[in-house]
Amino acid sequence: MLSRWFPAAINTRPTEWSRAAIGMALGTMFSVWLCGQVFGLEVAQHLIGPLGASAVLLFAVSSGALAQPWSIVGGYLCASVVALLVAHVLGRTLGSACLAAGMALVLMCWLRCLHPPAGALAATLVLAAPSIIALDWQAVGAAMLAGSGLLAFALAYNNLTRVRYPKRTSEPVAVIPADHSPVDRHAITAEDLKLALAEMEAFFDVTPEDLEQLIHASERNAKRRSITEVLSGRG
């Protein structure tokens, strides 16, 4: 039973860990510096928590659905607007901060821009430092500038380090195996996976297209293994 508490192995190499770590450090520093140039360093440093969390997604799991550009832009916008509305109506208390995070989550789901660090941003802006409170609605601009700066850095850094970003969900998926064998009409497709994900009614940080590629790659590997086993048996 205790083994269930241990996480699964991360399917990436240490070189990728280093690439993501460097990107996260530089990207967060750049976004804080950029925001600080316009709104002051004290304001920018107050946003470093949500920015650091966003950086983990943007540089370590950039192919995930929660790390795509609309997720961070829309998520930060929803969180900052909701947070300031709640702060003006209900005041800046712990309860209103938690309420703002929950309301931001509902809005992000509705607008299809779910981004977990935006929940932290909503709570952060409600329980804000005096420097951010003084900005009033300009705090939305500060949050958006910091988030956009981080996104811009991620776009440049990921592609320069040979990690394609953003992930285009509309791109065609290669379903024909490398050996050009016919595709089974009963093979699982992205549409099948979309229906399955909808039936499960839960959050999954993966696109149907990614799952389809993974399934077809697994099928090819299984076919190659089966052929190798047959040939070795004959030998």
| CA gap 59, 161 in Å, rounded | 11
pLDDT in tens, 18-70: 999 999 999 999 999 999 999 999 999 999 999 999 999 999 998 888 999 99
Count of Cβ atoms closer than 10 Å to residue 96 Cβ: 19
**Spatial contact of 86 and 96, defined as CB atoms under 8 Å apart:** yes
- Contact (CB, 8 A) for 15 and 30: no
Alpha carbon distance 79, 158 (integer Å) = 25
Reply yes or no on whether the pLDDT at 170 is more than 70.
no
Using CB atoms within 10 Å of the CB of residue 101, give its burial: 0 to 12 exposed, 13 to 18 middle, 19+ buried: buried
Q: Which of 169, 181, 170 shows the shortest CA–CA distance to 216?
A: 181
Distance of CA 204 to the CA centre of its chain: 11
Residue range 87-93: mean pLDDT, rounded: 96
Q: Which pLDDT belongs to residue 113?
A: 94
For 201, the token pair is 């009614």
CA distance 102 to 82: 10
5: pLDDT confidence band, cut at 50, 70 and 90? confident
Question: What are the pLDDT digits (tens) for 211-230?
Answer: 666 676 666 766 766 676 66
pLDDT value at 153 more than 50: yes
In what helix (H) or strand (E) does residue 102 lie, and over which residues does it extend? Answer: helix 94-110
Side chain identity at 36, as an amino acid letter? G
Residue 28 near residue 51 (C-beta atoms within 8 A): yes
Task: Report yes or no: 109 and 66 within 8 Å, Cβ to Cβ.
Answer: no
CA-closest candidate to residue 31, choices 72, 78, 85: 72
Please tell me the distance from the alpha carbon of residue 33 to that of residue 39, in angstroms, as a whole number.
10
pLDDT digits (tens, 9 = 90+) for 91-130: 999 999 999 999 999 999 999 999 999 999 999 999 998 9
Reported as half-sphere exposure (CB side, CA atoms, 13 A), residue 153 has a value of 25
